[in-house]
A and B are shown apart, each in its own frame.
Chain A
């Protein structure tokens, strides 16, 4: 069973860049039919999809964050990463890395989640 684990700083200063990495185990990030997404959840709030990457490197970002987001993949390490630039307090949230299943009857359902990592933006 695939497992995902986020890593990265839990505290980022305003105007700096938030950087997180997701390590995938129990399956290959290069498997066709799966996209690799980042989703965030502000404290006590709902879920916001940030964007995804396919193993080929193709990406799609939420237009609300597009100007500040880069998602990349490192197939050799079975990892994908998130960079969010020019952060403010409004970017304080729990960040999840997620497998987006687009295979075998699924249609972009988020079927495997990391445990999440809380990122606080504060000086």
Chain B
């Protein structure tokens, strides 16, 4: 199985900050990488697909980049609604696997 590793596991930031979350794959997955946001008690929500494509309806302050093994999710200016846990997921090969998540908290 392809292992996905987030860094950091948790992050404290303030409204208006620029935040970057990193996800690393245990082998090259080209651009087969998706990002999700999950709030407590809610199902995850797709933010970014194929590494850099913004899902319809997702604010443009979210962006993704990377290829191969290293990927980033960037929030350009944090809003109160963005405090949540973020997961990456590889869709390069089955079984599809997720990272352990990055919890974004209010400073």
Contacts and interface: CB of A to CB of B under 8 A. Distances in A.
B71 interface: no
B39 interface: no
Interface stretch (B20-28, B73-81, B92-100): B92-100
Q: Is the interface of B mostly helix, strand, loop or mixed?
A: loop
Residue among A49, A105, A108 with max Cβ neighbours from chain B (10 Å): A108
B98 A46 contact: yes
Interface residues of B, number: 24
A107 B96 CA distance: 11
27 contacts: A46-B87, A46-B99, A46-B100, A46-B101, A47-B98, A48-B98, A49-B98, A62-B95, A63-B95, A96-B43, A96-B44, A105-B53, A107-B32, A107-B49, A108-B32, A108-B96, A109-B91, A110-B44, A110-B46, A111-B46, A111-B49, A111-B55, A113-B43, A113-B44, A114-B43, A115-B43, A116-B43
